[in-house]
Amino acid sequence: DWKMQDVLEEEIKVIKDMVGPEDHVICALSGGVDSAVAATLVHKAIGDRLHCVFVDNGLLRYKEQERVMETFQRDLHLPVTCVDATDKFLSKLKGVVDPETKRKIIGREFICIFDDFAQDLEHKLGNKPVFLVQGTLYPDVIESCPPPGSGRTHSHTIKSHHNVGGLPKDMKLKLIEPLKLLFKDEVREVGRILNVPQSFLKRHPFPGPGLAVRVLGDVTGGNALDILRQVDEIFIQSIKDAGLYDSIWQAFAVFLPIRSVGVQGDQRTHSHVVALRAVTSQDGMTADWYYFEHKFLDDVARKICNSVRGVNRVVQDITSKPPSTIEWE
Ligand code: XMP
């Protein structure tokens, strides 16, 4: 695609001009396509003056840390450090139920960890990192802050995406956002040109606040995160096995903070309800819920209840965006 090839070359040039020959750059890898493509692009422009960090916030999916670190190191050759900050995030989220508050806490914590990482790096290099790379896309920019004349009527934030606008005023790092004019499919095209593996490029989007926006209410209550990871893995694996993964924009499970009555074996149970969500979309700004065959849904629901302890009911989300958003929080 000549157009994306041009965009890529132009971006690399812009970054080379912007970043001085002594400057160091840090990048937070989220595990998603956007930050990985952004980092690979910047790596191409400035080489090992890029320093990536992957934060395990304790809100990742099943085996995600291992899986993405392998891709970053083995496939993309990115210089990356993994920071396990599970305890920090979960202790700050304890008892918090409001979705916006959860997002803000997570956003702030990320920034603190980047700052720490930057300071450690400064000690190591004897030189301050000056820039921070973010994989912000065009839809993130306009949903958080619609440009004047864009025809979008809302002036308030629908959801505060942690990677847009939430940076503290005193943050000393300047931003590099090489993808901020691109839509998702264009980012995948840029990634393809940069030889990012197809399997990685085809990964469904995953929100920065991770499973915190998929466990409704208090994330830290009981073993919600653990249950959600198991349910989500079964759902995604079933979708892959059925050959449906690439036809779906995003699929995931949601943990609901309610219990319902069930019967399993001869036992009456009072256990958790999980919701399955799958949507098709072009860019995440609007979405349609995905029609699965009944047989597929039946198999998945049985498998979940049979193998995940603490779940006795599975429901499917059949709303589109609008009126719903893709995530539940
Ligand atoms: P919603 O739920 O707003 O989501 O319809 C639209 C798309 O954005 C993803 N999403 C996020 N991505 N940081 C991100 O990087 C966030 O805070 C965030 N919140 C939602 C969501 O998964 C969907 O693809």
Is 36 known to sit in a ligand binding site? yes
Domains annotated on the chain, with CATH: 2-201 (3.40.50.620), 214-316 (3.30.300.10)
DSSP 72-97: IIIIS---EEEEE-HHHHHHHHTT--
pLDDT at 270 over 60: yes
The answer, yes or no, to whether residue 151 has pLDDT greater than 90, is: no
Average pLDDT over residues 44-51: 96
* Other beta carbons less than 10 A from residue 275's beta carbon: 18
Given a cut of 80, whether residue 182 has pLDDT beyond it is: yes
Counting from 1 in the atom list of ligand 1, the atom nearest the Cα of 161 is 17
Closest CA to 319 of 254, 261, 260: 254
Output the CA 124–ligand 1 centroid distance in Å: 35
> 152 pLDDT exceeds 50?
no
Tell me: is residue 33 an annotated ligand-binding position.
Answer: yes
> Mutate which of 143, 161, 216, 324 to test ligand 1's pocket (most atoms within 8 Å of Cβ)?
161
Q: What is the mean pLDDT of residues 94-110?
A: 96
CA–CA separation, 135 and 130 (whole Å): 17
Strand ranges for 62-183 from DSSP E: 80-84, 129-133, 174-176
Tell me whether 0.85 is exceeded by the ipTM: yes
Minimum CA distance residue for ligand 1 atom 20: 207
For residue 147, name the pLDDT band (cuts at 50, 70, 90).
Answer: low
| pLDDT value, residue 130 | 87
Nearest atom, ligand 1, residue 159 CA: 3
Instruction: Report CA(125)–ligand 1 centroid distance (Å).
Output: 35
- What distance in angstroms lies between residue 208's CA and the mean position of ligand 1's atoms? 7
Q: What average pLDDT score do residues 104-117 get? A: 92
Q: CA-CA distance, 72 to 191, in Å (whole number)?
A: 13
Lowest mean pLDDT among 160-164, 183-187, 189-193: 160-164
Is a pLDDT exceeding 60 seen at residue 114?
yes
Q: If we measure between CA atoms, which residue out of 55, 90, 62 comes closest to residue 218?
A: 90
